[in-house]
Amino acid sequence: AEVVRVEPPGGSLSRRAGPLAGNPGASLSFALRNAGKRGVCLDLHAEVDRGRFLDLLSRADVWLHSQPGISDDVPELEPNRVLERAPHLIVAVMSDFGLTGPHCKYLGSDMIAVATGGMLYRSGAPEKPPVAIPGSLGYDTLAVSAAVGSILAVMERNVSGRGQILDVSAQEAVANLADWSVPLYSTLGIYQHREGAGSYPIYRCRDGWVRMLIFSKKQWHTVLDWIGRPEPLLDPALEEYWGRFAARPLIDEHLGRFFQDWTKIEAAAEAQRRGLAATPLLTAAEAIDNPHTRARAGFVRREIVKGVTAAVPAGFFIIDGVRVGPRGRAPEPGEHNDEPFASEPAMSTLPESGNDLPAGNPAAAAPAGGAAASAGRAGDRRQPQDAGARSTVGSALPFEGVFAVDLGVGVAGPEVGRLLVEYGAEVVKVESSTAPDFVRTVIPGPVNAPFTSSNRGKKSLGVNLKTEEGCRLVRRLIAQADVMIENSGAGVLSRLGLDPLQLRQDNPRLIVFSTRLLGSEGPWKDWIGYGPNAHAVSGLQYLWNYPEDVDRPAGSTNIHPDHYTGRLGMLAVAAALIRRRRSGRGMHIDIAQFEVLQHLIGDILAQESITPGSAVPCGNDSPLGVPWGVYPCAGDDEWCVVNVRTRDQWQALCRCLEQSEWASDRTLDDVDNRRKRRREIDEAIERWTRVRTPMQAMAELQAAGVPAGAVEHPAMQVDDPHLAARGFFRKIEQPELGEVTVEGPCFTSRCLEPRDTGPAPLLGQHTREICAGRLGLDSREIDRLLAAGVLEQWPS
């Protein structure tokens, strides 16, 4: 795509956000997140420049808009008025809390988004405050969510011809990554607390640390055999996961002694050889330069701003074997002011008809369970829009008519399928009791809240892929599919005769989405693992720590790489469907999850490549402002984030704290002077927050004009008045479980309301339906295959 970055004269404030490089300092964050764009500087308060900007919008497909308050000063830029001038335009309005709801005017930050979205409360050590996630996870997730919404809106527009307004909230975007914490709370009534590495332990080695996860009984016995079966660990209670969970100190003592003589890469390699999920905890420098990243060419040295060359991530999408990533550096302010841009929206270049993209049929029926909704549905997510608010009742969602086969397990693969379902696709989950999706079985019973959330609305085909007949049936199913999703270990599908290359030869229109921990190429490609393993090997876990504990990793239990990758996967599949409409050909999309994390901290890794040794843990400190931290509130393990950037925000904080002396000391208007007195300031804030709940502290500070956010855990999120007013959470009546509260969509629009998916399937629930309807088998043949153990159905 051609992307034009529009900035005020002199450039945007984000050009001054650290880390910085060069002289004068250029923002590496800005450089990486704007690489390859063209840049213009326009004063939108001036009539001539404003006219030029509106002309640019009239020829654009999408306006990515992150300053919703600008229309207060410039009414012509109010999204509805812009749509009147350019009715084809997709306007993705990105904000901290969304355009509606009681907190819509609250001030935010990346850290506040992570806090209010439910990701911060269990980050870090239990005896310390929650520790910020390095990089810009909150705003990067907001951006990806806007991209997801924009591409879906473009698909919808290419059928209906209309533009629309998308309301994308950073809080809600992050809440979609929070490891099913609200679904679990809604069914179990409890939530996980901050516990450092927790059930994903980190062990000291001779030269650092290794992270190893032990989930299954088979893995436990493998560990016992490896370390010599010490007598204290032979207790039968340790055969089960929860028994080991309760005995973690004893297990950690033995494994800690065992690993101390190994190097971290040797320990990980030997563990992987034995079938155990282990990865070395790499420093920033090691994450950039190690045998695996070198073999994959995961980093490239290039000029990212004028005169500054750095090692930067090369891109996390590999399309048909070719890595796709940023090309060129970020623009200088106003660099392309005098150059021409696109003369018309790209929608006019798409074919008027054709059946290669099923959603391209404007006569397609509305999805079962309800068409995309206009205002008025229960849990209505109201939008302040008119021009883009026409109802889509009776029209197709973007993926209507798309058929996908989901071979995924865990999170990343299934999340792609779930998002396809929400916007119209039929998705069949292939599974069996002999090799179940481990998320289905992580809690006893036929189904649980995490499985419900990530597999809602799918159909389940119970088929044993360890049988030749079972594999043949799945190959026949994939031959009819538009999309196949998989995140199996490297080589697993090939051994089953389901190699993506062969499947695409049988079905050239097939789009295959693959993802795994370390990708499909490189010396570590066969390594297995989970989200926390990606934290370690990507360099993120080393940085995700308190500065005083640099030699003692804080650990984390978040598995956000999987959820984040799921959104990238849906975005890539949507783009592939659009391209297939032009070319008639499918593609193979491959993502390595550790590379996704490296892009999220790409600016920090680039800084390390420029100034070796500079990328170290900084905890909750930030170059963006002071005070900047997480402060204790009334209650047990309750916290509030306070971030102060500007002079006005500092003066407002002084008024809240009744610190008139600070307010009158003009030297403290300067952030560097405040940094020198940070401990004194932090102590004053702590005294103030300790007598208030997190929500009270946030409300009082925000009312005064101070950016603040409650560190929300699930019990707070389900009662959050803002999320309730926006109708974010959804209710699902799940058979064999009961009512489950699940996360809502990552953006809202009256023209793209996701359908009510219904519950997740029970294992084999749709076996007969799929075999008869999709594969043409009669009842006698289905009965034979069930009796032979090739197929299974619910109830078994």
**Could you read off the pLDDT of 495-530 as tens digits, one per residue?**
999 999 999 999 999 999 999 999 999 999 999 999
The residue among 586, 408, 402, 580 whose CA lies nearest residue 504 is 586
Q: State both tokens at 142.
A: 């907001």
Asked if residue 627 has a cis previous peptide bond (ω within 30° of 0), the answer is: yes
* DSSP element (H, E) containing 423: none
Give the mean model confidence (pLDDT) for residues 389-397.
Answer: 48
Fold of 197-339+498-618: formyl-coa transferase, domain 3 (3.30.1540)
Report how far residue 552's alpha carbon sits from residue 57's, in angstroms, rounded to the nearest whole number.
Answer: 51
Report how far residue 450's alpha carbon sits from residue 649's, in angstroms, rounded to the nearest whole number.
Answer: 40
Report how far residue 451's alpha carbon sits from residue 442's, in angstroms, rounded to the nearest whole number.
Answer: 9
Question: DSSP assignment of 688-736, as one string?
Answer: HHTTS-HHHHHHHHHHHT--EEE---HHHHTT-HHHHHTT--EEEEETT
Q: State both tokens at 279.
A: 């990865």
| Contact between residue 483 and residue 425 where contact means Cβ atoms under 8 Å apart | yes
Q: Give bridge partners of residue 308 from the DSSP assignment.
A: 305
Segment 169-213, tens digit of pLDDT: 999 999 999 999 999 999 999 998 999 998 899 999 999 999 999
Domains 197-339+498-618 and 627-712 share a fold: yes
Axis-axis angle for helices 602-610, 593-600 (nearest 10): 70
Domain ranges of the chain: 197-339+498-618, 627-712
| Structure-token match 């594969």, residue found | 775
The residue among 721, 599, 774 whose CA lies nearest residue 134 is 599
Least confident of 415-429, 480-494, 730-744: 480-494
Report how far residue 729's alpha carbon sits from residue 744's, in angstroms, rounded to the nearest whole number.
Answer: 5
pLDDT at 395: 57
Based on the number of CB atoms within 10 Å of its own CB, is 82 exposed (0-12), middle (13-18) or buried (19 or more)?
Answer: buried
The residue among 268, 281, 275 whose CA lies nearest residue 216 is 275
CB neighbours of residue 364 within 10 Å? 17
The single-letter DSSP state of residue 488 is: P
Q: State both tokens at 71.
A: 């229309």
Segment 321-361, tens digit of pLDDT: 999 998 889 999 999 999 887 767 765 444 333 344 443 33
CB neighbours of residue 692 within 10 Å? 19
* DSSP element (H, E) containing 785: helix 779-787
Report how far residue 246's alpha carbon sits from residue 134's, in angstroms, rounded to the nearest whole number.
Answer: 30
Question: DSSP assignment of 141-203, as one string?
Answer: HHHHHHHHHHHHHHHHHHHH---EEEEEEHHHHHHTTSTTHHHHHHHHS--PPP-TTTTS-EE
Segment 760-794, tens digit of pLDDT: 999 999 999 999 999 999 999 999 999 999 999 99
Q: Taking all residues of the chain, what is their mean pLDDT, rounded to a whole number?
A: 92
Q: State both tokens at 380.
A: 């209505």
Asked if residue 617 has a cis previous peptide bond (ω within 30° of 0), the answer is: no
Q: Tell how strand 38-41 and strand 164-169 pair up.
A: unpaired
Report how far residue 340's alpha carbon sits from residue 103's, in angstroms, rounded to the nearest whole number.
Answer: 40
Reported as a pLDDT band with limits 50, 70 and 90, residue 376 is: very low
CB neighbours of residue 102 within 10 Å? 14
Higher-confidence residue: 312 or 346?
A: 312
The residue among 96, 95, 98 whose CA lies nearest residue 728 is 98
Reported as a pLDDT band with limits 50, 70 and 90, residue 369 is: very low
- pTM reported for the whole predicted model: 0.92
Higher-confidence residue: 342 or 374?
A: 342
pLDDT at 380: 34
In percent, how much of the chain has pLDDT > 90? 85
Which of 3.30.1540.10, 3.30.530.20, 2.40.30.20, 3.40.50.300 is the CATH number of 627-712?
3.30.1540.10
The residue among 674, 670, 624, 626 whose CA lies nearest residue 647 is 670
Q: Which residues touch 633 (CB under 8 Å, ≥6 apart)?
A: 639, 640, 689, 690, 692, 693, 694, 696, 697
pLDDT at 354: 36
The single-letter DSSP state of residue 614 is: -
Q: Which amino acid is at 556?
A: S
